[in-house]
Amino acid sequence: MNTKKEINNIFKIKNLNLFYADNQALIDLEVNIEKNKVTALIGPSGCGKSTFLRCLNRMNDLIEICKIRGTITFEDRNIYRPNYDVIDLRTNVGMVFQKPNPFPMSIYDNVSYGPKCQGIKDKKILDEIVEKALRDAALWDEVKDRLHSSAMMMSGGQQQRVCIARAIAMEPKVILMDEPTSALDPIATQKVENLIENLKKDYTIVIVTHSMQQAARISDNTVFFLLGKIIETGPTNKMFSNPNKQETEDYITGKFG
């Protein structure tokens, strides 16, 4: 009898190649993203981490010279097949960027923006969505008395958590994070890291990070990129303690990058 636990992969990537005009940025990528886990994408600058992240919700579609070959299946459906609903994909796969980018409006309006765009007008329902998202983003107690103040007046760390709450309000299945703490101080960074740890109960998280310490602290799985290729992937504790490839060990120990 096979008692091995079957891994539930929410994304499966096969033979993924990406070109910016004649420049190939991603080369023959094959990797799976496990559901309700934190997957860290590591590697030196310019190695393809953020480009790969943007493939997962088709943000690269917005770049005219970008061409993609291969398959990415999300919940066993190829997101690059003709007629795939990209709006539905981006609802299910939210994104948080490197620099906090709250809209120039109130905290409440930032978090309720997406649901309103989806046609939700009932104030009671919107109130519930905003409170739940801010609670999930570990921000409710800090802002509940100033929901109608401008989000632009908050600290950088609070702004980033508002952006996470804005993503959560859409009830995604996956949250993509592109270096979400690189612009934050150590205390704000710790709050976001604690938040990520709590969020994985309900969401799959894929995070690009330049910090080896951060990847080691918060991720379950790690993918190491180098020059547009995936060199190694696996459980974070295994990769950081006993990597299979010399390049992985050299990068993790700071010999380059």
Tens of pLDDT along 213-239?
A: 999 999 999 999 999 999 999 999 999
Averaged pLDDT, 12-28 = 97
- With 60 as the cut, is the pLDDT of residue 79 above it? yes
- With 90 as the cut, is the pLDDT of residue 199 above it? yes
Mean pLDDT rounded to a whole number for the chain = 94
Contacts 24+ apart (CB under 8 A), 20-29: 20/63, 20/65, 20/66, 21/65, 24/228, 25/51, 25/228, 26/51, 26/52, 26/55, 26/228, 27/227, 27/228, 27/229, 28/229, 29/70, 29/229, 29/230
Which superfamily, per CATH, for 2-252?
Answer: P-loop containing nucleotide triphosphate hydrolases (3.40.50.300)
Averaged pLDDT, 45-58 = 96
Rounded to two decimals, the pTM is 0.94
